[in-house]
Structure 1
């Protein structure tokens, strides 16, 4: 029986500080059929030197592609375009995978052809003396318990069950996790498309929701990855720059996912984004 190829996609940009740790976790995987795709956004530090050094210490095929910088979404998508695998496993330059991460995820992924996404719990690497980090971990560290009706246990659920949960759009919007916590069937990109390059902060959330409309979702109740919090990562920079894409996201969901949502959420979206709702708000403003 053919063992599916998994592409470990690592988009990088000036990631030298933690990149060696990330790459060590990639080449230490127990899963037997891998390739590593590096998409570099013209790093000006020694990231590429670190990557080149790893090509000589592993038998896993390494492919390095230089990419003209055009935002994080373009770099993610570039790595996908060059991936030959049946499955995509993202690993970000700051993060880590447990050695059996891909093996465990693939066991679940191949159990049902309708599974498009498998995700797991994650360990949060952070500065325990940083109050913002501590608050973030307390709030967003255990994501699978943030749903209203869904009881998420290890196994598989129809993606539409996630979309119909009353708490779907409640904070935190991302109740799946960062791309490092996710394994994707590559066929999803043919059906759903690539990541939205117009988004800076929420492109992963947008993609998870879009995928849920068509595929089943698998969950592994183990911390198979480590997500690193630090002040120079893209999400932290975006937060400091006060990038808030909530309104843009809800507009997208109103157009494409409206009938998948809980009735109360549909009503809220209708009031916010339909021409009727906009007209009512306009008239209320006039007659205040």
Structure 2
């Protein structure tokens, strides 16, 4: 690209008055200047709007849009897309933190290779809810790849499709905030976030991948996902958590089938994801005091579904986590699985730091 790249940062905002000032401050301190920040206020009930306006008054790169009524995070991001004027779009969450060189590093990579989709690495920062101090931090990066100058770029479809599965395995694919999307690809193909809970991000990214002809992955850690156990913009209690997770698994499975890259490695990744969600759903039921008989009946009903029968065939046996938590589910040993879910529920309640570390074990 001969001209300087312009970025459109889209920031949906709802109930983040405690955090949005830090996020906007990270953007104001960026070492790269050519960007706009589109703040979409989804009728936030707190002082988020006042904080946003204080930045708008100081910097004309910050734009404020307010929805007439609360419509959800997908609608807020879609509003941002409609108003974006940059060459690339970033969907950054207002309750996270970003490195001050985020846009500069992305711009340098995109000047070198103006790809359709750029993915950068991040950390998951698990913080104490009361003190805000980091108790546990995990870096998420495809560090096992053979990087050239900490960057991998490809326009080979098969490579892109296989990289998608590798990113999915380490939770790098589903998020929208660790990516730069070429605006023309989004707008020319009318890509938008669906109005659905919990899986709207991965569905959007799968849609984007259907039109992605070139991809860059950066080893640079540029984003810090701040997890304090609070109700994040995209968080909250989800009654139909497992059903939504199955939508995720099926969407990726269907896409890999269409691409003809749904090999045993891909199926193993999806099987682990399915049974991890199954086990997590059991823990959630224990948290809501669901009776043992009801949980076991629910497990048996799930075992009769086509997705269970398919996924159980491909569960790998290469980690202690799989053997302890997922294998009993795949083998129909639901009593054993429930006992181990009780242990996880107890750990989650009384030792959240240990639980967060355990969640990272794949």
TM over 0.5: yes
Aligned to 2:92: 91
Task: Count the aligned residue pairs.
Answer: 263
Contact 1:29 1:100 in 2 (8 A): yes
Q: CA RMSD in A?
A: 3.4
Q: What do the CA deviations read for 1:182-214 (whole angstroms, capped 9, x no partner)?
A: 111111213554344243222222233332343
Q: 1:162 deviation in Å?
A: 4.1
Aligned to 2:203: 206
Q: What do the CA deviations read for 1:2-61 (whole angstroms, capped 9, x no partner)?
A: 323211111100110100000001111121211110111101101110011112222424
**1:223 aligns to what SS in structure 2?**
strand
Aligned to 2:236: 237
Task: Pick the structure with greater CA Rg.
Answer: 2
Equivalents in 2 of 1:171, 1:134: separation in Å? 24
**2:236 aligns to what SS in structure 1?**
helix
1:246 aligns with 2:245: yes
Equivalents in 2 of 1:136, 1:199: separation in Å? 30
User: Structure 1: any 5+ residue segments left out of the alignment?
Assistant: 270-276, 282-288
More relative contact order in 1 or in 2 (CA 8 Å, sep 6+)? 1
Inter-CA distance 126–56: structure 2 relative to 1 (3 Å threshold): same
1:182 aligns with 2:179: yes
**1:200 aligns to what SS in structure 2?**
coil
Q: How does 1:104-253 map to 2 (within 5 A)?
A: 104-113=105-114, 115-127=115-127, 141-145=139-143, 154-158=151-155, 160-164=158-162, 168=166, 171-172=169-170, 174-176=171-173, 178-213=175-210, 214-231=212-229, 232-238=231-237, 241=239, 243-244=241-242, 245-253=244-252
Instruction: Report the TM-score when normalising by structure 2.
Output: 0.62
Instruction: Report the TM-score when normalising by structure 1.
Output: 0.76
